[in-house]
Structure 1
Amino acid sequence: MIRPSFTEALATRPWLLADGATGTNYFQMGLVSGDAPEMWNFEHPERVRTLHRQFIEAGADIVLTNSFGGNRHRLKLHNAQDQVREINIAAARNARAEADAAGRPVYVGGSIGPTGEIMEPVGAMSHDEAVKAFAEQALALKEGGVDVLWIETMSSEEELRAAVEGASQAGLPIVTTMSFDTNGRTMMGITPKAFGAITAALPTQPVAIGANCGVGASELVATVLGISEARPDAAVVAKGNCGIPQYVDGHIHYTGTPELMADYARIALDAGAKIIGGCCGTSPEHLASMRKSLESYSKGDRPSLELIEAKLGPVSELAKGHDAAAAGAARRERRRGH
């Protein structure tokens, strides 16, 4: 089977389906809160491969490696900072084995999450130190055989820049997503529009940009509208949580049904997303429903916020175009001018 490259697939296919949640599904397989899921690449490779296989069987075109916290700063919490190379190679090989057995083109994204440190000037981590950590992880993922480096759940511009710079040392295509979870902004205050501008100015251009995690499917689609408006030229990623998290009987439960996720997939496509997947709470069953819904659908008009709210749930004021923080700052500025 001649497999087109990831960038060729991205350029020629109407959409690509990315996989669902890692952590939420591992908890159901026996992962204990506080343990590093990355260690499962050695300790329980069969469980890691089973989840990849289930997502591929559900229709995923892209599976992400179990390496989200696989940088030395995150691994230091588990005293595994000297195993970065082995952990990431194992993560890539587990995913690669299942992707190669699929009988159709399935791409492996090397998952790269934040360091967990706060970067200068606010925190202590320097740009160079962060670049070094991201490069170390990216090179190991490449060695393990990933097709694309997938930088996800970023919240600060400084860390995003360091991650892209570090990952670019591996010479693979890069996808980068941020998590917009604080009233339509990232934790560090970046809006979808600002994210579009930041990525457009990066020295190494990602092949796709977008949003993952966040609050719920509705807010994520609203974010995609903002990103695709700011960057109509970009391939956009939507990897939303499966509904809204709720605490039920001592466990986090996500409200999204397979039907809701099917609606989300179609609305995300209409909003301008090219790569559509699920984040927290998204099971293989949800993903199968998304696949089915996309396969029987042709892209329609850009959705209104009213439609998003009616189908998927409420969105933040920022997504509706009410930027309370900016309006407040403008009011204060006007007062100061008097």
Structure 2
Amino acid sequence: MPRVSRFLERLAAGPPIVADGGMGALISAAVPRLRSPEEANVRAPQAVVSLHLGFINAGAELIETNSFGANRRKLAAHYLENELETINSTAVRLAREAREVAGRDVFIAGSIGPLGESATRRVRTDLFAEQALVLEGRGVDVFAVETFYDLEELEDAVLAVRSVSSLPIVALMTFDETAETLAGVTAAEAAERLNNLDVAVMGANHGAGLMAALAALEQMGGDGKPLAALPNIGLASLAGGRVVYPHATPDYFAEFAAHARDLGARIIGGCCGTTPAEIAAIDEALAEERKPRARLEFAERELLVSLGEELLETGLARALREREWVVTIQLDPPLGGSSKGLVELALAIGESGKAGYVDINDNATARAGMSSLIVSATIERQAGIETIPHLTTRDASVMGLESMLLGAHSEGVRNILAIT
């Protein structure tokens, strides 16, 4: 039976297809100084084959070509646009080579990602169609049009692929913990529109982690098309110039696979941060027909306010509300362990009457200094002047940021200058 027919039959009759994991993130970690992960197809082809084999040996029945960002617009940003044909052709050849070496008849999905910048519908259609034409010509079995934040761009991509190919299309969007895109489109709204397109599968990938994918599946399910879930292992952070993903046990992914299957997923895998270990856990859970061990519940997060806590307006908030000029002096935290000098300086600023606030830098010039939040709490307590601590996201996870903010709040800090 042709692979396309077998793919469609698996979608209809099951069992779910196990997909691979985070190819791009692993390639970037394995091959140094790449301009883009797709460049590895021509610079380090054996590394690409090795990663494909790792996922196949872990149980993946569908692997994606290393071509996610290989459209002309994205390649041009790295001066690789003249190698579009070579990069995409080689991506398919390496996936097919891994299939042959493994001796397992896995499906090969031609990966197509978003452009990464705004463009007209005509330009988007031309760029997606150009890439799809190369991928089909070299022998992919299906298309994975994935990691789209913009529903209209995803629709354009699907129509572009369909204009040059009749192969099945897996259409995947990226959602946050509330099952919404960055533009505020809910998973239910996305499913309603994707149901009207000629796609074989729709679902969620990348995003804010496993629970975000499950929340999206719950909204997208019903009597529509088969579903897919290929989430990140969690939200990434930046440490020492490297993208770092949180740790999740394989058993956590096994539990995710059981829930995803029960929500109607017919393709289950991973995205950034997931390795063959997580894919093996998914494969084992599905093979054993594992039942979920915990009930799946989705609850909207709430900001908890302690009983008796006063919700007072800060001086800064009042000044901005009344459209007054705000004068603040920026201070750099000490690089050592004593804040005495900074407190004395803040006290002098307050007594001068020339500024109503001090804003505290956060690791200025990428040098480690005292925490801006801790220094701000100390200044407010000892100098009596309102502070505006800077807060950057580069050195902490989401949980770490929440923890620091809660601690600062308990010490009376109420203003934040958020810097990305």
TM-score (ref. length: structure 1) = 0.82
1:180/1:211 contact within 8 Å kept:
yes
| Alignment correspondent of 2:165 | 170
| Cα distance in 1 for residues equivalent to 2:293 and 2:245 | 32
| Alignment correspondent of 1:278 | 270
- Secondary structure of the equivalent of 2:77? helix
1:84/1:136 contact within 8 Å kept:
no
| Cα distance in 2 for residues equivalent to 1:211 and 1:254 | 19
| Cα distance in 1 for residues equivalent to 2:248 and 2:213 | 13
| Cα distance in 1 for residues equivalent to 2:35 and 2:231 | 24
| Cα distance in 2 for residues equivalent to 1:239 and 1:221 | 10
Match of 2:189 among 191, 194, 197: 194
Q: How many residues align?
A: 299
| Alignment correspondent of 2:19 | 18
| Cα distance in 1 for residues equivalent to 2:6 and 2:294 | 29
Over 3 Å counting, the alpha-carbon distance change for 1:200 and 1:8 in structure 2 is: same
Over 3 Å counting, the alpha-carbon distance change for 1:303 and 1:5 in structure 2 is: same
| Alignment correspondent of 1:324 | none
1:271/1:303 contact within 8 Å kept:
no
| Cα distance in 2 for residues equivalent to 1:159 and 1:279 | 20
Deviations 1:276-306 (A, max 9, x none): 0011110011111111111101667995316
| Alignment correspondent of 2:31 | 30
1:239 paired to 2:236: no
Larger relative contact order (Cα-Cα within 8 Å, sequence gap ≥ 6): 1
| Cα distance in 2 for residues equivalent to 1:2 and 1:64 | 19
- Secondary structure of the equivalent of 1:110? strand
| Alignment correspondent of 2:98 | 98
1:245/1:255 contact within 8 Å kept:
no
TM-score (ref. length: structure 2) = 0.67
Give 1:233 deviation, angstroms.
2.7
- Secondary structure of the equivalent of 1:234? coil
2:141/2:167 contact within 8 Å kept:
yes
Deviations 1:292-323 (A, max 9, x none): 111101667995316xxxxxxxx6559xxxxx
Deviations 1:17-69 (A, max 9, x none): 0000012212331344x721111111110000000000000000100000000
1:70 paired to 2:51: no
Over 3 Å counting, the alpha-carbon distance change for 1:262 and 1:199 in structure 2 is: same
1:255 paired to 2:247: yes
Over 3 Å counting, the alpha-carbon distance change for 1:55 and 1:184 in structure 2 is: same
2:178/2:215 contact within 8 Å kept:
no
Give the number of the structure whose alpha-carbon radius of gyration is greater.
Answer: 2
Q: How does 1:269-308 map to 2 (within 5 A)?
A: 269-297=261-289, 304-305=296-297
Deviations 1:4-27 (A, max 9, x none): 532233223220000000122123
Over 3 Å counting, the alpha-carbon distance change for 1:82 and 1:88 in structure 2 is: same
| More deviation, 242-251/211-220 | 242-251
| More deviation, 21-30/291-300 | 291-300
1:31/1:37 contact within 8 Å kept:
no
| Cα distance in 2 for residues equivalent to 1:70 and 1:237 | 23
Aligned letter for 2:111? S
Match of 2:130 among 127, 130, 136: 136
Any gaps of 5 or more consecutive residues in structure 1? Answer: 119-124, 307-314, 319-338
1:115 paired to 2:106: no
| Alignment correspondent of 1:8 | 9
Aligned letter for 1:141? L
Q: How does 1:44-55 map to 2 (within 5 A)?
A: 44-55=44-55
- Secondary structure of the equivalent of 2:97? helix
Over 3 Å counting, the alpha-carbon distance change for 1:178 and 1:256 in structure 2 is: same
Deviations 1:79-99 (A, max 9, x none): 122322221111011111212
Match of 1:185 among 180, 189, 204: 180
1:147 paired to 2:148: no
Over 3 Å counting, the alpha-carbon distance change for 1:302 and 1:210 in structure 2 is: farther
| Cα distance in 2 for residues equivalent to 1:14 and 1:304 | 22
1:244/1:256 contact within 8 Å kept:
no
Give 1:270 deviation, angstroms.
1.2
1:242/1:257 contact within 8 Å kept:
no
Aligned letter for 1:284? P
Aligned letter for 2:20? D
Give 1:246 deviation, angstroms.
4.5
Aligned letter for 1:144? R
| Alignment correspondent of 1:121 | none
Quote the sequence identity (%): 36
- Secondary structure of the equivalent of 2:185? coil
| Alignment correspondent of 1:311 | none
